[in-house]
Amino acid sequence: MSWWQRQAARVRGLIAVLVVTGAGLALYEQTPLGPLGRMAYNWAAGTRYQGPSPLAAFTDASGRTYGFLLPVDEKAVQAIEATVSCLPLAQLQEIARASEVDAVGLEALIGAHAQMNNTACVLELPAELLARTVEVLPAGTTREAVRSDPQLAARGLARLLGVEHKQFAHSDLSVELAVESLLVGRAAVQSAVAAASAAGLRRPESLEVHRSLLPAGTSNRADRALWVLARMSLGRLLWPAEGFTRITSNFGERINPVTGQQQFHNGVDVAMPVGTLLRAILGGAVARVGYDAVSGNYIRVSHGYGLESVFCHLSYVTAASAAAVIRGESVAQSGNTGRSTGPHLHFAIKMFGRDVDPVALYQGVLPLPLPPKPASAPATLPKVP
């Protein structure tokens, strides 16, 4: 074997080893085989698997992970309710206006960190974020004061949000990136966005897209950011049919008008004539258009961050599958198809694969079922000593 042949063999061997390494890592990270392998390992070791589902490698027609596969942070769900109770919306909007930041983003940020019990309202900020909040508030402000005073915390977080907002001002998703940056860290977010962009992924600045590229230790904070961004979306909802708000059948258990049996109704029925134009309640992409014996013609729009809206019994769907829609865009016409006793719209909203009451969402009430609250909440929240 000549010298050149020996060098060529060495180079080819090196390439083969590199390709094996790259293929193995890519298989582990990007295909269902990675989670399946880890599940098998955990099963053999007798431990509990807590990673992502193998099904999470699939995306819907809009290119997003299926909502029912996204992680659900029960603590964050409960904390979101505290937004309403800890700090009235009017006060929050005033603070946001004074700080020139996005009121919806600030509200969502505080909501995700608020932890409410029957007697006190305490903002549970991570230690790092709490320290940063204290730094931007007047000298002499203590951490305990920030934790116990929602207004003080809101002012501090508004200033921080303004600082981060300027860092991402070049992006269409600047508010979302600023909120994520406060929770996960600016350097980590910038690196993940750059990596997603280099890998040619669509919408690299969306947390859903670059989430897997965030540092390993930020998983819990990324989950919380996902919830905050979902909460932000709720602040911008549009009603699907302007002028038609009469609810003829509520969300929850009901007597089915067709069968006469008790069944769970996963949305609300809104009375409206056939042909009423229906608009997208938020920006997003059409995840599914189809026909079903029960639902008739239907359209499912994915709005990102685990939020989906579904319109059923339609006469006509104008938006195509996988098409991007903007907030307020006409996507369908109401009808009377499928199992229906009269012209109406069946309107359902899903958060992270769970059915939620659309009316409650539009009224700013808690998004998911929670333990019962005491009937009379204190008007002014007591300070934590």
Site for another protein in 325-384 (CB under 8 A): 325-330, 333, 339, 357, 359-360, 362-365, 369
Q: Does 117 bind another protein (CB under 8 A)?
A: no
- Nearest Cα neighbor of 181 from 227, 133, 221, 235 is 221
Provide the minimum distance between the beta carbon of 193 and another protein in the complex, in angstroms, as a whole number.
Answer: 9
The Cα–Cα gap between 79 and 115 comes to 5
Provide the minimum distance between the beta carbon of 152 and another protein in the complex, in angstroms, as a whole number.
Answer: 21
Q: Does 70 bind another protein (CB under 8 A)?
A: no
Are the CB atoms for 144 and 122 separated by under 8 Å? no
Provide the minimum distance between the beta carbon of 258 and another protein in the complex, in angstroms, as a whole number.
Answer: 6
Q: Does 40 bind another protein (CB under 8 A)?
A: no
Are the CB atoms for 281 and 303 separated by under 8 Å? yes
Provide the minimum distance between the beta carbon of 145 and another protein in the complex, in angstroms, as a whole number.
Answer: 26
What is the per-residue binding string for another protein in 128-147, x denoting contact by CB under 8 A? --------------------
What is the per-residue binding string for another protein in 274-313, x denoting contact by CB under 8 A? -xxx-x-x-x----x-xxxxxx--x-x---------x-x-
Query: End-to-end distance of the chain based on CA atoms, in angstroms?
Result: 83
Quote the distance between the C-alpha of residue 43 and its chain's center. 31
Provide the minimum distance between the beta carbon of 84 and another protein in the complex, in angstroms, as a whole number.
Answer: 6
252 φ/ψ sector (left φ>0, alpha ψ -120 to 50, else beta): left
Q: Does 263 bind another protein (CB under 8 A)?
A: yes
The Cα–Cα gap between 172 and 168 comes to 9
Q: Does 13 bind another protein (CB under 8 A)?
A: yes
Out of 38, 235, 316, 336, which residue is the one contacting another protein (CB under 8 A)?
235
Binding part of the chain for another protein, among 9-17, 118-126, 128-136, 158-166 by CB under 8 A, reads: 9-17
Tell me which amino acid residue 311 is: F
As a residue count, the chain comes to: 385
Binding part of the chain for another protein, among 10-18, 41-49, 117-125, 149-157 by CB under 8 A, reads: 10-18
Quote the distance between the C-alpha of residue 118 and its chain's center. 27
Identify the helix (H) or strand (E) that includes residue 331.
Answer: strand 330-334
